[in-house]
Amino acid sequence: MSTESACPLTARDYKSELKPVWCPGCGDFSVLMAITKAMADVGRRPEEIAVISGIGCSSRVPAYTNCYGFHGVHGRALPLATGLKLSRPDLLVIAAGGDGDGYSIGGNHFLHACRRNVDLTYIVMDNQVYGMTKGQPSPTTPPEWDSALVPGGTGLRPFHPLVIALAAGANFVARSFSGDPANTAQMIVEAIRHPGFSLLEILSPCVTFRPEERDWAKQVHPAAVDETSDRARAARRVLTDDGFNTGILFRGDRAPYQPSVNLEVVSSVDFETEFQP
Amino acid sequence: MTITDRATLLAHAYAIESEAAERYEELASQMHTSNNHEVGDLFSKLAEIEAKHAAELSLEHGAANVTLAATDYSWGSLESPEVIPFGDVHHLMSPRQALTQALAAERRARDFYEHHAANIPEGDLRTLATEFAAEEAEHVRMVQAWLSRLDSSNDEEREDMDQPMPL
Amino acid sequence: MTGSKAQTIAMIGSGGAGVMTAAEILLRVAARAGYFGLMTKSFGPQIRGGEAAAFVTLSTSPVEIQGDRIDLLFAIDWNNAERFAGELNIASDALVISGLPGTNPPAIVTDHRPALVEINLKSLTRTHKGTRPNMVALGTVAGALGLPKDVVMELVDERLASKGEATMSQGRTAIGLGYIEAEGLDSMPLAPSEGAAPRWIISGNQAAGYGAMRGGVRFAAAYPITPATEILEWLAPRLQKAGGLLVQAEDELASINMIIGGSFGGAAVLTATSGPGLALMSESIGLAVAAEIPLLVIDVMRGGPSTGIPTKSEQSDLNIAVYGLHGDAPHVVTAPNSIADCLFTAQWSTHLAESMQVPVIMLSDQSFGQALGVVERPAELAFATRRLVVEAPAENYQRYAVTASGVSPMAIPGTPGGQYTADGLEHNETGIPSSGVEDHNRQLEKRLTKVTNFDYGDHWAQIEGDGPAAIITWGSTTGPVRQAMRRIDPHGERLRLISLRLISPAQPECLARALAGCERIMVVEQSQMAQFFGHLKAQFDLPSHADLYARPGPQPFRADEIAAKLEDWLS
Ligand SMILES: Cc1ncc(C[n+]2csc(CCOP(=O)(O)OP(=O)(O)O)c2C)c(N)n1
Ligand code: SF4
């Protein structure tokens, strides 16, 4: 790759040679396209970007980009991304994964990432199912959805990631639909540019285990009202909407967590005096 | 929205063809990855055709040089009309199903130009839009002909005999 | 003046009586006066106001463990003192001072029939306004031991400086009162010290933190847990001063992953925890093995399993540290064998992690971690610690290229042309996921090679003496064993000590060499299930005639226990 910056990079420059192994029809293909497009729009060079994920179909994303990537363990993308961003604030760090990865096994990290408000962008490809392990209910699956592991459905109220993110302190909250890659890309750009922890929840159908999600294309609609910076209003709105409202729903002004580091680096030998009796 | 100038029309036209080419290429790659080589090859061929159209547009009208900001493209749909949405394919789709999707895509493109032609006042711009609509109508006929030549013995409902594989 | 070479002092009291502060000042006074020493603490379960006991052993020669018996006990009060049964092992010629006349010492004290005197702290401190019982007690103890009064005054002044001249003066008065009380006692002076070579006063946890910093650690993330928290609390402000950072994570799953992220970004990193936290981290340590991410994970062991006994030691995390990862996951497990060695081993472990791009688990334990020792100033060490990184990757850069050493140059994010995706999935040399037989075998081989072929030098163990009977031990059991050996074999003619610092990967050839000429072998460890013994048998070709002395915590080993065992074994 050339290092001249004269020629602007295009989405293609952010795509790796690796062919995705997703099922044809999977929403994640569009999301990948939107991610690479957003990267080109943002204009940071691929080597200055790191994409961090856990495990799941959606978590395969890092290797499909031409950036630095980390495909870690199930549920732990956010702490890994946090550690990287805190130690390397110069990098653009994006975490990505599924609803099971982010809201179930990684649920605690999700809360604390919102609360900690490190300057990260978190892209959740929510297909309301565990795709990779063959169709078990996730925290966002409707209660009546029947599956081999949970016959008759969970009977549980679905997790509401956006409201929870708002309550926990996320600084940017948006929802989009994978089948709308142009707007999704635009929202990713906005999420990246907004300081602090940005959650972008992307409805991304699993055509294999939730074929009925193909109908999402007909159900989604742009949010009828403009984005707000009023957390309570945003929460009330997403709590009462139909779940298919897309757009930027909240844009806050919390200062990102950026621990003040003393740049005057002292040699650790200087600590020895304190051990003298 | 109505298109009121040549640059906007050309930018849309170029986006329609190049995005379709790119999408077919992507879908071809997906089909090959899923070992559906028949449809993969078909999508590759469609990708070539769309790429050629894009090149022609560029050659004849300099269309490749006119681009709009992402938000200035207006399709009246989630994506540009000639792409097959990612969600509308299946790993076991038959060539007939693939071509049916392609036919729908060509029809959407034709309808897009026809709609705009109808809304543009008499003049060069309208002539150009009508010309593009006619081209797409030609593609519709071409895909229809292709479809009718398909061997129907190959057409039975394809079903995945295996459970999905957990990874 | 003659005197004892070593004395062990206990100070007990309840309800914030200040025994810990007094004992710590006592240790510092002794250190300034040229003595070696060790202070350990014991508490009741209350966070505030519970019973507390501080134990200080002072000596003219290096001290690794608390003395067998208590020579001088000062009880500010006797509330719930029976809680310390087992720890208040009073010598029969001990001096016991009760600060609260009219109350009776518990049987665990009187059973030993020590000399008992009473000092009325209450009336003394009432008469001398503003003086505190613990400072009077400190003065009494320091006086009885023959420690220089001016040094005590100097330290009390330093301690109270921030509270103003009035408080300082009250402190000095209290110390003076104590010294006067001491005059009426049978004195039990320490032998003169042999001069003051540069000494440090440091806890194992501080030493571990500092060692890691010397090794280059600049980023840490952790979740608090006893007895590891002091490492973190020591590091947090100092890392900041050194340009680094410590983050308090939401749990151990987060902390381990945060440091994986930091290390992926190029920083030398650390987390510290104890058994329960290590159990939570094990999946991600496996990730670091697979993705070849250098990490230092310090486990300050405590009694287990589960919440177990948080404030007491046990050597029972060996199995989880060595064998607790899923898959064939070569990594390194080290263990310091003294407070000062916590510094060396932490620095060395960082060096190992960075050099081999591998997670290193360092098994420290509560008895080092929370004990404060007066030690010789540790030597400056400079390992040539450098992570192998690539600055200008070639066109076809391969992150996991198979090399002779097994270590491959790592591209740090930001390096143009080095982009790769680190992966816990098995991968090929480029880093692309692969479940192929060939790739799995090559990568497994590479990851094993880099830790087995590494040159660990002489640091794998500490060996002392060359007698025909060898004692193999590790970690905090080393101190009591060493002390016991000095007692029964002062010239190192009958016994040989082999204390393993590198627990895994096993170095069977090294051990065989160290055992050359040995007729008898005994393994000593603090684990009910003899985890170390099992490990030696499985990985080190331990001769079948090797004997074992193993028992669980929470009672620390004392030299007399081990000495008795060894005498018995040798006869
Ligand atoms: C500790 C652990 N438990 C379980 C799994 C198995 N597992 C892999 S992916 C997955 C769920 C994935 O669901 P989601 O995050 O929604 O992603 P999707 O596949 O739907 O994109 C599970 C349970 C694992 N890899 N690790
Ligand atoms: S199983 Fe579902 S989520 Fe996974 S790749 Fe297939 S369609 Fe996508």
Segment C212-236 shows an average pLDDT of 95
Q: Which residues of A touch B90 (CB under 8 A)?
A: 24-25, 207
Instruction: Tell me whether the CATH fold assigned to C6-182 matches the one assigned to C201-376.
Output: no
A77-81, B56-60, B136-140, C20-24: range with lowest mean pLDDT = B56-60
Residue A1: the pLDDT is 40
Preferred mutation among B26, B31, B78, B94 to probe A, highest tally of A CBs within 10 A: B78
Contact of C300 with C205, CB cutoff 8 Å: yes
- Interior CA angle at B24 toward B129 and A221, to 5°? 70
Which pLDDT does position A269 carry in this prediction? 63
- Assess whether the previous peptide bond of C505 is cis (omega < 30° from 0): yes
- Give, in order, the Cα–Cα distances in Å from B29 to each of B23, B141, C127, C329: 10, 26, 93, 36
CA–CA gap between residue B4 and residue A172 (Å, rounded): 37
The residue whose C-alpha atom lies closest to atom 9 belonging to ligand 1 is A56
Q: Output C197 or C83, whichever has higher pLDDT.
A: C83
Query: Using only C-alpha atoms, what is the Rg of chain C?
Result: 26
Does the pLDDT at position B156 exceed 80? no
| Nearest CB neighbour to A186, from listed B30, B70, B93 | B70
Q: How confident is the model at residue C358 (pLDDT cuts 50, 70, 90)?
A: very high
Are the Cβ atoms of A25 and B26 closer than 8 angstroms?
no
Which residues in chain A have Cβ-Cβ distances shorter than 8 Å to B165? Answer: 134
Interface partners of chain B (CB pairs < 8 Å, 3 or more) are A
Contacts of A30 in chain B (CB under 8 A): 86-87
C-alpha C484 chain-centroid distance: 19
Q: Quote the mean pLDDT of chain C.
A: 94
Q: Which member of B86, B88, B166 has the closest CB to residue A132?
A: B166
pLDDT for A153 equals 93
C500 forms beta bridges with: C461, C474
The atom of ligand 2 lying closest to the CA of A125 is 3
Residue bearing the bigger pLDDT, B167 or C148: C148
State the closest ligand 1 atom to the C-alpha of A101, by its place in the atom list counted from 1. 15
Say yes or no to pLDDT of A2 above 50. no
Yes or no: say if A103 and A113 are a contact pair by the CB < 8 Å rule: no
| Sheet containing strand C219-222, strands side by side | C245-248, C219-222, C269-273, C295-301, C359-365, C332-334, C502-504
Domains and CATH numbers, chain B: 6-154 (1.20.1260.10)
User: Which residue of chain A is at minimal alpha-carbon distance from C158?
Assistant: A277
Is the Cβ pair A87, C418 closer than 8 Å?
Answer: no
Tell me, what DSSP letter sits at residue C475?
G
Ligand nearest to the CA of A211: 2
Q: Predicted ipTM?
A: 0.91
Compute CA C141 distance to the chain's CA centroid, rounded to the nearest angstrom.
27
Task: Write out chain B residues lying below 8 Å of A247, CB-based.
Answer: none
d(CA A239, CA C495): 74
Residue A99 Cβ inside 6 Å of ligand 1? The answer reads yes
Q: Please name which ligand lies nearest the alpha carbon of A99.
A: 1
CATH T-level fold of C458-570 = Rossmann fold (3.40.50)
Which residues of A are less than 8 Å from B34 in CB distance?
23-24
Closest CA relative to residue C149, chosen from C114, C173, C120, C117: C173
**Residue B69: its pLDDT value, please?**
83
Residue nearest to atom 3 of ligand 1 (CA): A74
- In this predicted structure, the answer to whether residue A6 has a pLDDT above a threshold of 70 is no
Ligand (nearest to CA of A125): 1
Per-residue pLDDT, C442: 98
Query: Residue-wise over A45-59: b if at least 16 C-beta within 10 A, else e?
Result: bbbbbbbbbbbbbbb
Atom 8 of ligand 2: nearest residue by CA position:
A26
Looking at CA atoms only, how far is residue C46 from chain A in angstroms?
29
pLDDT, one tens digit per residue, over B39-61 is 999 999 999 999 999 999 999 88
pLDDT at C82: 86
**C-alpha dihedral (C187, C190, C193, C197), degrees to nearest 10:** -120
Looking at C202-305, list the stretches that DSSP marks H as alpha helix, in order from N- to C-terminal side. Answer: 204-214, 229-241, 252-264, 275-291
The DSSP element (H or E) to which B106 belongs, if any, is: helix B95-119
- Which residues fall within 8 angstroms of residue A250, CB to CB, at 6 or more apart? A166, A170, A172, A173, A174, A227, A228, A229, A231, A234
Atom 6 of ligand 2, residue of closest alpha carbon: A23
Where helices occur in C318-414 by DSSP H, the ranges are 318-323, 339-356, 366-369
Binary contact (A90, C240; C-beta < 8 A): no
What kind and span of H or E run contains C520?
strand C520-525
**Is the domain C201-376 a CATH 3.40.1740.10 member?**
no
C481 touches C497 (CB < 8 A): yes
Ligand 1 in reach of A127 Cβ (< 6 A):
yes
What was the pLDDT predicted at C195? 72
Q: A49 CA to middle of ligand 2, Å?
A: 26
CB contacts of A66 in chain C (<8 Å) are 419
| Minimal C-alpha gap between B122 and chain A (Å) | 32
Structural tokens at position C41: 């603490």
Domain membership flag for residue A262: yes
A56 lines ligand 1 (CB under 6 A): yes
Q: Is the peptide bond before A62 cis (omega within 30 degrees of 0)?
A: no
Alpha-carbon gap, residue A54 to C312, rounded angstroms: 37
Q: What is the number of structural domains in chain A? A: 1
Of the candidates B33, B36, B166, which has its C-beta nearest A134's C-beta?
B166
> Residue C545: its pLDDT value, please?
94
To test the ligand 1 pocket, which listed residue (A23, A59, A76, A101) has its Cβ within 8 A of the most ligand atoms? A101
Ligand nearest to the CA of A22: 2
Instruction: Establish if A5 belongs to a structural domain.
Output: no
Residue nearest to atom 23 of ligand 1 (CA): A133
Closest Cβ–Cβ partner in A50, A63, A76 for C413: A50
Residue C386 binned pLDDT confidence (cut-offs 50, 70, 90): confident
* Residue span of the structural domain in which A130 resides: 18-273
Residue nearest to atom 13 of ligand 1 (CA): A130
Query: How many other CB atoms are found less than 10 A from the CB of residue A129?
Result: 26
Strands (E), C49-182: 51-59, 70-75, 90-98, 115-118
**CB-CB contact of C282 with C326 (8 Å):** yes
Q: What is the pLDDT of residues A32-67, one digit of tens each?
A: 999 999 999 999 999 999 999 999 999 999 999 999
pLDDT reading at B19 higher than 70: yes
How do strand A245-251 and strand A172-177 relate by DSSP bridges?
Answer: antiparallel
Which amino acid, one-letter code, is at C461?
A
Backbone angles phi, psi at C129, to 5 degrees: -55, 135
Asked if pLDDT for residue B15 goes beyond 60, the answer is: yes
Strand-pair partners of C239 = none
Phi, psi of C36 (to 5 degrees): -90, 165
* A182 touches B at CB < 8 Å: yes
| C245 with A86: Cβ contact below 8 A | yes
CATH topology (fold) of C6-182:
Pyruvate-ferredoxin Oxidoreductase; domain 3 (3.40.920)
- The verdict on residue A60 lying in a domain is yes
- A&C contacts, CB < 8 Å: 190
pLDDT tens, position by position, B66-96: 888 877 888 989 999 999 999 999 998 999 9
| Average model confidence (pLDDT) across chain A | 94
Give residue C360 CA to ligand 2 midpoint distance, Å.
37
Q: If you measure CA to CA, which chain A residue comes closest to B69?
A: A41
Q: What are phi and psi of A249, to 5 degrees?
A: -100, -30
Task: List the domain boundaries for chain C.
Answer: 6-182, 201-376, 388-454, 458-570
DSSP helix, strand, coil percent of chain A (3-state; round to 5): 40, 15, 45
Answer whether A134 sits within 8 Å of B164, measured CB to CB. yes
Q: Is A207 on the interface with B (CB under 8 A)?
A: yes
At residue B165 the predicted structure's pLDDT band, cuts being 50, 70 and 90, is low
C361 CA from centroid of ligand 1 (Å): 28
pTM of the model: 0.92
Residue A137 Cα to ligand 1 middle (Å): 11
- Determine whether the interchain pair B87/A57 forms a contact, defined as Cβ–Cβ distance below 8 Å: no
State residue C85's pLDDT score: 81
Residue A81 lies in a domain: yes
pLDDT of residue C45 exceeding 80: no
Distance (Å) from CA C306 to ligand 1 centroid: 27
User: Tens digit of pLDDT for each residue in C311-344?
Assistant: 899 999 999 999 999 999 999 999 999 999 999 9
Measured by CA distance, the residue closest to atom 5 of ligand 2 is A22
A9 in contact with ligand 2, CB cutoff 6 A:
no
Q: Is C161 exposed, middle or buried (0-12, 13-18, 19+ CB in 10 A)?
A: exposed
pLDDT surpasses 90 at B160: no
Q: Which pLDDT score, from 0 to 100, does residue B157 have?
A: 61
Angle at alpha carbon of residue B78, lines to B127 and A199, rounded to 5°: 145
Omega within 30 of 0 (cis) for the link into C227: yes
Does A147 reside within a domain? Answer: yes
Ligand nearest to the CA of A55: 1
CATH number at residue A251: 3.40.50.970
Out of C198, C247, C253, whose CB is closest to A86? C247
The token pair at C250 is 């939401």
Residue to probe by mutation, ligand 1, list A30, A74, A124, most atoms within 8 Å of CB: A74
- Residue A121 inside a domain? The answer is yes
Q: How far is A262 from chain C (nearest CA, A)?
A: 5
Contact B68, B36 (CB under 8 A): no
Is there a domain that residue A227 lies in? yes
